[in-house]
Amino acid sequence: MDKDKTKKLIGQPIINQILNLIPNRKIIDIAKETGCDKYYKQIPLIKHIATMMFGILSRCNSLREICAGMLLCEGKLNHIGLSKLIPKSTLADANKNRSSDVFEMVYYMLIERYSSVLSDSRIVGLSIKQLFAIDSTTIKLFSDVLKGVGRNPKNNGKKKGGVKAHMLIDAKEGIAKFVRITAAKVHDSTFLKYIDLPKKSFVVFDKAYNKYKLFAEWTNRKIYFVTRMKDNAVYTVIKVKNSKNQEKGVLKEEHISLSYKDGKEIRALKLRRITYKDDQNRMFVFISNNFKITADEIALIYKNRWQIELLFKKIKQNFQLKYFVGDTENAIKIQIWLTLIAHLLLTIMKKKANVKMAFSNIATIIRLHLMSYVDLLAFLKKPFQTWKQKQNNLYLQLNLFG
User: Strand 202-204 to strand 224-228: parallel, antiparallel, or no bridges (unpaired)?
Assistant: parallel
pLDDT reported for residue 223: 96
Decide: 169 and 155 in contact? Cβ < 8 Å: no
Residue 168's identity, in one-letter code, is: L
pLDDT of residue 393: 61
Instruction: Specify the length of the chain in residues.
Output: 402
| Alpha-helical segments (H) within 224-355 | 295-303, 306-318, 329-353
The sign of the dihedral angle between the CA atoms of 70, 75, 76, 80 is: positive
Q: How many CA atoms lie within 13 A of 295 on its CB side?
A: 22
* pLDDT in the model for residue 119: 79
Contact 56, 335 (CB under 8 A): yes
Hey, how many other C-beta atoms are within 10 angstroms of the C-beta on 228? Answer: 20
Q: Give the strand pairing for 175-183 and 162-170.
A: antiparallel
What's the CA gap between 241 and 382, in Å, rounded? 54
Position 3 scores a pLDDT of 46
Q: In what helix (H) or strand (E) does residue 361 lie, and over which residues does it extend?
A: helix 359-368
The CA–CA distances, whole Å, from 148 to 22, 140, 163, 184 equal 34, 8, 7, 5
Provide CB contacts within 8 A for 152, sequence distance 6+: 159
Residue 75's Cβ-side half-sphere holds a number of Cα atoms within 13 Å equal to 12
pLDDT tens digits, 93-151: 999 999 999 999 999 999 999 998 987 666 777 888 899 999 999 988 766 666 555 44
- Please give the distance of CA 352 from its chain centroid, rounded to a whole number: 18
Give the Cα separation of 373 and 110 in Å (integer): 25
- What is the predicted pLDDT for the residue at 53? 95
> What is the pLDDT tens value at each position of the chain, 402 positions in all?
444 444 444 478 899 999 999 999 999 999 999 999 988 888 999 999 999 999 999 999 999 999 888 887 766 777 777 777 889 999 999 999 999 999 999 999 999 999 989 876 667 778 888 999 999 999 887 666 665 554 455 555 555 568 999 999 998 888 999 999 999 889 999 999 999 999 999 999 999 898 999 999 999 999 999 999 998 899 999 999 877 778 889 999 999 999 988 888 899 999 999 999 998 999 999 999 999 999 999 999 999 999 999 999 999 999 988 889 988 999 999 999 999 999 999 999 999 999 989 999 999 999 999 988 888 999 998 876 766 666 566 545 545 555
